[in-house]
A and B are shown apart, each in its own frame.
Chain A
Amino acid sequence: MTETLPPLPTVKKSPSPKAAAPGAGGAAPSWAVAEVNSRLTAEDKVALFRTMLRIRRFEERSLRAYQAKKIGGFLHLYVGQEAVAVGCCSLMGKNDHVITAYRDHGHALAVGMDMRGLMAELYGKSTGCSKGKGGSMHFFDPSRNYWGGHGIVGGQIPLGTGIAYALKYQGLKGACMAFMGDGAVNQGAVHESYNLAALWQLPVVFVIENNGYSMGTSQQRSSAGELGQRAEAYSMAWEICDGHDVYQVREVMDRFLREARENCRPGIVEIRTYRYRGHSVSDPDKTYRHKSEVEEYRRTKDPIQVFQDTLIAEGVIDPARAEQLDAEVRAEAESAADYAEASPFPSIEDITKDVYWEEDNPSEKKSQGRIFF
């Protein structure tokens, strides 16, 4: 068994169509000097770091709650992938939107959702961000342009393409980031979306969060060729980037987002990342990869450690400040769990609410159409 395990995925540089990669070719490329990163204030950088920490500590706290049987169903943890959601979502403007799959806690926190509502959702409480009706895989906050949280692999990609269509239709300069995992690239709905996006020149950036494994099947065992390269079949730009470096994620995504917003050019960014936990908490994580592989990633590439080291080297924070931030974030996660614990469950009557708009808004029955837009 162990001898058939695949080698560590390597991060390759791609034939980048518009790469103006700073430091490219140098021994140690520094993405920090890219304009999108060099304009960050110390405060901005601390905010990025803090959001990454918030994701990690939230996930760890939710795992403990799961183990204490406070949470039902599935729990897909984002630990290890923090730089991806944080890097991407930190670039969002007023008309930019996000949609993702079921590993959705990181994106929810990255767009600024409150930990309490998320934890309460995991607990199935009425104070949850979806009133306890969605669960772990179905976080939503349209007020933050966050459209979920979708359970079916690849099923959200047509929706994200439609969000981009709506932006273009309404003449808004914005883009939709449609996130998927590496397992989603083989779904038909994803390819149909690629075609529509390229055919109609929609402002969507398809983001493949390639953590190397679609559930327990490695990329080598599930997908032919480079994942991002499939863009070429649809005449779209594509690029691979290292998802352990939040600066690099921002630099690459910034270019693709600007192309989408300003020129309605869709693209695919494959971000190489790694998850430390199993596919979900029910995955014993023993059959398809070596423990040593996880340890190697944790030791050498951990996105939070990498960024912390960078910030210390830049003089933005010192180790004491990093520890203090971590303590604050842990306390926030703890308090979110307390909030979730203390919140009530939905009532039996709540089961049949939020099914139909008309039933929930009987007084407005006669004024159908254009009500909430």
Chain B
Amino acid sequence: MPSLSYREAIRMALIEELHRDPNVVVMGEEVAQFNGAYKVTEGLLEKFGPKRIVDTPISEAGFVGLGIGASMLGIRPVIELMFWSFYSVAFDQILNNAANVRYMSGGQIHCPIVIRGPANGGTNVGATHSHTPENVCANHPGVKVVCPATAYDAKGLLKSAIRDNDPVFFMENTLLYGDRAEIPDEEYLIPIGQANIKRPGIDLTIVAHGRAVITSLAAAQILERDYDISAEVVDLRSIRPLDEATVLASVRKTHRVLLVEENKPFCGVGAQLSHMIQEQAFDELDAPIRRVSSIDAPAIYSPPLEAEQLPTPQRVLRAALETLR
């Protein structure tokens, strides 16, 4: 099995789906000639030509909306946002048009579009470029929100996203682009809506998504090594649909829950999870549900401080110990 980076795994998924379905088009700023702002789409123009790999002007409302319109006629655009932070420029297109048109047409119109790109802080680019909009987007029925934590998941989930008949918002992380994983030679798909237990355990359930999964795994390792605590790490993989069953099964096993996310805490993903768990598994809980998230302020620029604003293994560790106290 070859080892591929997260970036290469996404590229492989694009290549396979571009080969599979002539309706798949990759579109976005700098995706073709420039080879991708983060080199995810490197080499695709050469391989597939300018009809399939399309450079756009800096015009998110225009080209995202154009992709949505084209998808209504059966094109399957995979739109790259250089940063998911730029979704706000195309907000009306994404969350009025893509999210609503199937519903408002009584199921007559479909939007098989994927919008993908990095959605993370931690790169010292300030608040405008560091948004984590998974909670905002997931608040809109009609869209799916996927946040892969590993190269393996990114490939299988992106292939499913491209084949999905509804809009899928695929949120990557620039800090993970270099992370490697074993990727099988044979094709595989990961269904959207299935969480994954990244590390089994019995004493504590840590629920996370995206890069927070990696942070949580690091904390879990310290918990085991230094404290003899066995933490189970559940990777949500998608925020909507949310795999409630896998989360609840883990809660019923460990009876203690820590929610970790790089999202902001206020109305964040953890708030939704926390409500869901207390509602459906209240009697299973031996301790209050705790959360670790980004510190509740716009993303700070100052590099050492931004590293602390995001969840760190140390912060996760401290919260885990409090949950187990």
Give the interface of A toward B (CB within 8 A).
97, 99, 128-134, 138, 140-143, 147-152, 155-163, 165-167, 169-170, 188-189, 192-193, 195-196, 199, 353-358, 360, 368-373
Partner of B106, one of A133, A156, A159: A133
CA distance A200 to B97 in the complex (A): 22
Tell whether, in the assembled complex, residue A188 and residue B61 are in contact, meaning their CB atoms are under 8 Å apart: yes
B213 vs chain A, min Cβ distance (A): 25
Q: Give the size of the chain B interface in residues (CB under 8 angstroms).
A: 47
CA distance A357 to B164 in the complex (A): 9
Interface status of B225 (Cβ within 8 A of chain A): no
Residue of B nearest to A132 (CB): B106
Contacts known (A159-B72, A369-B163); A130 close to B105, Cβ less than 8 A: yes
Q: List 24 A-B residue pairs with CB atoms under 8 Å apart, sorted by A's residue number.
A: A97-B73, A134-B105, A140-B105, A155-B92, A156-B97, A159-B66, A160-B69, A162-B68, A162-B72, A162-B73, A163-B73, A165-B69, A170-B73, A170-B75, A192-B57, A192-B63, A195-B57, A195-B62, A356-B102, A358-B166, A371-B165, A372-B74, A372-B110, A373-B73
Tell whether, in the assembled complex, residue B106 and residue A368 are in contact, meaning their CB atoms are under 8 Å apart: no
Interface status of B51 (Cβ within 8 A of chain A): yes
Contacts known (A354-B102, A368-B160); A159 close to B68, Cβ less than 8 A: yes
Q: Is the interface of A mostly helix, strand, loop or mixed?
A: mixed
Note all chain A residues with C-beta closer than 8 A to B23: 370, 373
Chain B 175-189 near chain A by CB (<8 Å), digits 1 or 0: 000000000000000
B244 vs chain A, min Cβ distance (A): 15
Interface status of B142 (Cβ within 8 A of chain A): yes
Chain B 85-113 near chain A by CB (<8 Å), digits 1 or 0: 00000001100110001111111111010
A246 vs chain B, min Cβ distance (A): 28
Note all chain B residues with C-beta closer than 8 A to A149: 104
Q: Which of B150-191 contact A (CB under 8 A)?
A: 160, 162-166
A238 vs chain B, min Cβ distance (A): 19
CA distance A167 to B103 in the complex (A): 24
Note all chain B residues with C-beta closer than 8 A to A158: 61-66, 68-69, 93, 97
Tell whether, in the assembled complex, residue A355 and residue B109 are in contact, meaning their CB atoms are under 8 Å apart: no
Residue of B nearest to A135 (CB): B104
Interface status of B316 (Cβ within 8 A of chain A): no
CA distance A48 to B165 in the complex (A): 38
Tell whether, in the assembled complex, residue B62 and residue A161 are in contact, meaning their CB atoms are under 8 Å apart: yes
Note all chain A residues with C-beta closer than 8 A to B75: 165-166, 169-170
Note all chain A residues with C-beta closer than 8 A to B57: 192, 195-196, 199
B23 vs chain A, min Cβ distance (A): 7
Note all chain A residues with C-beta closer than 8 A to B106: 128-134, 140, 354
Chain B 39-65 near chain A by CB (<8 Å), digits 1 or 0: 000000000000100001101011111
B103 vs chain A, min Cβ distance (A): 5
Tell whether, in the assembled complex, residue A354 and residue B66 are in contact, meaning their CB atoms are under 8 Å apart: no
CA distance A348 to B189 in the complex (A): 35
Tell whether, in the assembled complex, residue A161 and residue B66 are in contact, meaning their CB atoms are under 8 Å apart: yes
Tell whether, in the assembled complex, residue B62 and residue A140 are in contact, meaning their CB atoms are under 8 Å apart: no
Interface status of B285 (Cβ within 8 A of chain A): no
Note all chain A residues with C-beta closer than 8 A to B162: 369
- Top 8 closest pairs, chain A to chain B, by CB: A162-B69, A158-B65, A192-B62, A131-B106, A373-B74, A159-B69, A369-B163, A166-B73
CA distance A92 to B59 in the complex (A): 30
B79 vs chain A, min Cβ distance (A): 11
CA distance A28 to B75 in the complex (A): 47
Tell whether, in the assembled complex, residue A189 and residue B92 are in contact, meaning their CB atoms are under 8 Å apart: yes
Tell whether, in the assembled complex, residue B164 and residue A189 are in contact, meaning their CB atoms are under 8 Å apart: no
Tell whether, in the assembled complex, residue B110 and residue A162 are in contact, meaning their CB atoms are under 8 Å apart: no
CA distance A128 to B106 in the complex (A): 9
Note all chain B residues with C-beta closer than 8 A to A142: 72, 105, 108-109
Interface status of B141 (Cβ within 8 A of chain A): yes
Residue of B nearest to A159 (CB): B69
Known: A156-B97, A159-B72, A368-B160; 5 extra A-B contacts, CB below 8 A, are A131-B107, A159-B65, A163-B70, A196-B59, A196-B66
Tell whether, in the assembled complex, residue A133 and residue B72 are in contact, meaning their CB atoms are under 8 Å apart: no
Tell whether, in the assembled complex, residue B104 and residue A133 are in contact, meaning their CB atoms are under 8 Å apart: yes
CA distance A252 to B260 in the complex (A): 60
Note all chain A residues with C-beta closer than 8 A to B25: 169
Note all chain A residues with C-beta closer than 8 A to B61: 158, 188-189, 192
CA distance A355 to B62 in the complex (A): 25
CA distance A373 to B163 in the complex (A): 12
Q: Could you say which of A131, A155, A369 has the most chain B C-beta atoms within 10 Å of its C-beta? A: A369
Note all chain B residues with C-beta closer than 8 A to A165: 66, 69-70, 75
Note all chain A residues with C-beta closer than 8 A to B92: 152, 155, 189
Partner of B165, one of A132, A167, A358: A358
Tell whether, in the assembled complex, residue A370 and residue B62 are in contact, meaning their CB atoms are under 8 Å apart: no
Tell whether, in the assembled complex, residue B65 and residue A370 are in contact, meaning their CB atoms are under 8 Å apart: no
Note all chain B residues with C-beta closer than 8 A to A354: 102-103, 105-107
B48 vs chain A, min Cβ distance (A): 13
Q: Could you say which of B61, B70, B73 has the most chain A C-beta atoms within 10 Å of its C-beta? A: B73
Note all chain A residues with C-beta closer than 8 A to B104: 130, 133-134, 138, 140, 148-149
Note all chain A residues with C-beta closer than 8 A to B133: none
Note all chain A residues with C-beta closer than 8 A to B51: 169
Tell whether, in the assembled complex, residue A167 and residue B73 are in contact, meaning their CB atoms are under 8 Å apart: yes
Tell whether, in the assembled complex, residue B110 and residue A138 are in contact, meaning their CB atoms are under 8 Å apart: no
Note all chain B residues with C-beta closer than 8 A to A353: 107
Note all chain B residues with C-beta closer than 8 A to A152: 92, 96
Tell whether, in the assembled complex, residue A150 and residue B97 are in contact, meaning their CB atoms are under 8 Å apart: yes
CA distance A133 to B92 in the complex (A): 19
Tell whether, in the assembled complex, residue A193 and residue B165 are in contact, meaning their CB atoms are under 8 Å apart: no
Tell whether, in the assembled complex, residue A147 and residue B70 are in contact, meaning their CB atoms are under 8 Å apart: no
Contacts known (A169-B25, A372-B110); A356 close to B72, Cβ less than 8 A: no
Tell whether, in the assembled complex, residue A368 and residue B66 are in contact, meaning their CB atoms are under 8 Å apart: no
Q: Could you say which of B57, B69, B74, B163 has the most chain A C-beta atoms within 10 Å of its C-beta? A: B69
Note all chain A residues with C-beta closer than 8 A to B65: 155, 157-159, 161-162, 189, 192-193
Interface status of B286 (Cβ within 8 A of chain A): no
